[in-house]
Structure 1
Amino acid sequence: MSVSRQYLCKLALLAAFLLDGSLSMAHADTVITFGAYHFPPIADVDHNKQPRGLLGDLIPALEAAHDDLDIRIFHTSPKRRYLDFEAGLYDVILFESADWGWATRAASISEPILVEEEVYVALDKPGRGQSFFDDIASRSIIAMSGYHYGFADRETDPEELQKRFKIEFSDNHNRSLQLIKADRPSVAEITIINRSFLHNHWSQKNGTGPSLLISEKPDQRYVLRIVARKDSPLTAAQVFGLLRPLIADGSYAELVSKWGLQLPDNLAGQRAAVSGRPE
């Protein structure tokens, strides 16, 4: 073989390698791990480590909209989520408020993707009205461990909370409601539950069981965002960008509505602009 033919063969092999490599890169999956903890119906993980709620619906919708996206789930807890985040055990967590300890961490935070609020819940008994919620500190409280509450100034340290309130901790909302319905005032007179959970709870129970007294004034209203580690494969803004096709075609709004949740103003406005009609 002549030198020129050898050279041309090498060029051809190199070109084929580079072309194949570029095609592989173009079709390589972006693998990203989402953290999730018990926060129904917004996010949760079942006993098979599969996501449920809004997050469970959203992940396949995102993967369907982006065929190069591979989303994994890491199950954490409300208390442990910060340590797991900083340890790099997951890259991104959706549906978090910047006020829940994220603003001071090495993370990127997106614009709002969801709004929700929590209310006080007690057993509806004769003589009780909205004034029952006037002095929360005088009531026995059952609360979720690791959650940030408005009445407690978002303090999460259990020892500090027990110094200030008559408070016990639960690991799920159903248990909290069971304690309220058991009518044991020395244990639990009030719990704090997000409205969407109550909406889904009533739908499942078909209105059966003891009546509940719900506060008209929320404990807190929160704006939820995407939080990503500084060395995550995607920034929070880039993950938000993955949502845009679902926002544009209205499918994200449908998922949010399905779980009794609300779009933030910035997304409701975008949806109105796309649909051509006011919200």
Structure 2
Amino acid sequence: MPRNNRFQPALLALLFCAVGFTVPVARAELEIKVGVYNFPPIAGIGSESEVEGLLADTLQHLDTAHPDVRFKVVHTSPMRRYLDFTAGLYDVIFFESPAWGWHDYPHEATIPILTDEELYLALRKPGRDTGFFDNLQERSIVTMSGYHYGFADFEIDSEKLEQRFDIEFSDSHRRNINLIKADRPSVAEVAIVSRSYLQQHLAQHPEDRERLLISERPDQVYRLAIITRAGGPVNAADMIRLLEPLVRSGRYRILVEKWGLQLPPGFFTGFPFQQNLP
């Protein structure tokens, strides 16, 4: 009859200790829950709930750079992100502006790590120029639900916005652009779209360059950071240290440019490297 081997691992461990060997212990894995909502091309959620865009690429390379850290994706929404954050459902959210309502919630923010801007779109018509965007209270507008916009003083409460503007809410940039192209002024005369998303759209639909009137003045220019939850497993300084290998190697810059986005001015000179670059 075979001998009972249930206690062999314990005996081996004692033997190793007796002769001066250290029993290998698996390194603890740090789990960081990352909040994600649809914010293309910076972040997106695919048809099978997978993360897309710059965030997907960034998390993939962070996984490679830090095998002892696990990034767990938690889906949220533009409107729900604050409640989920305070409830502790996620620990960090990438590519957020601290000006987007975060002052009401205990948090830390890294230095800005990304920049983009929002532009106004309308259907190009004879006699219509960019002065069409001067007074949006005279226009019917379609916006993304839960997004913060400069023309609305960053208000996201739909009832308050409906009191001030003739406004339609959506969860799709593609739908918003199509509404403009459909020439339905009773529904939408103006849409607000990020420059990076618009560049992608025009690359795929070059015929729209002549169909769409695009504002010269942006609705807002935003500099985006990583927001961390007070009391969470990591703070802003921790997230910068995790991002540093990607910045130092140039990989992060390549990822940003791949998605038609930009680094903030002075990003490399202002980045808090733990040691000076060689």
TM-score, length of structure 1 as denominator length: 0.88
Deviations 1:247-276 (A, max 9, x none): 1111101111111111012424368x9888
4+ runs deviating over 6 angstroms = 273-276
Question: Does the C-alpha gap of structure 1 residues 119 and 191 become closer, same or farther in structure 2, counting only changes over 3 Å?
Answer: same
1:149 and 2:149 aligned: yes
The aligned runs of 1:60-71 (5 Å cut-off) are 60-71=60-71
Are 1:79 and 2:84 matched, yes or no?
no
Aligned residue in 1 for 2:202: 202
> Contact 1:110–1:240 (CA<8 Å) still a contact in 2?
yes
Instruction: Provide Cα deviations, 1:79-137, integer angstroms capped at 9, x if missing partner.
Output: 00001111111111000001001123111111111111101111111111111111111
Task: Give the match for residue 184 of structure 1.
Answer: 184
The size of the alignment, in residue pairs, is 262
Q: Report the Cα distance in structure 2 between the residues aligned to 1:64 and 1:165, rounded to whole angstroms.
A: 47
Does structure 1 residue 12 correspond to structure 2 residue 24?
no
Q: Percent identity?
A: 49
Instruction: Decide whether the 8 Å contact of 2:17 with 2:23 is kept in 1.
Output: no
3-state SS of 1:95 partner: strand
SS of the aligned residue for 2:104 comes to coil
Query: Secondary structure at the residue paired with 2:152?
Result: coil
Structure 2 residue runs of 5 or longer lacking an equivalent are: 1-13
Segments of structure 1 that go 5 or more residues without pairing to the other structure are 1-8
Alpha-carbon shift at residue 230 of structure 1 (Å) = 1.1
For the aligned residue pairs, the C-alpha RMSD in angstroms reads 2.3
Question: What's the secondary structure of 1:213's corresponding residue?
Answer: strand
Distance in 1 between residues matched to 2:16 and 2:259, nearest whole Å: 58
The offset of 1:69, in angstroms, is 1.6
Task: After superposition, give the CA deviation of every residue in 1:30-59 in whole Å (9 maximum; x if it has no partner).
Answer: 111111111000011112221100001111
Aligned to 1:129: 129
State the SS of the aligned residue for 1:108. Answer: strand
In 2, Cα distance between the equivalents of 1:206 and 1:31? Answer: 43
Question: 1:166-181 maps to which residues of 2 (within 5 A)?
Answer: 166-181=166-181
TM-score (norm 2): 0.88
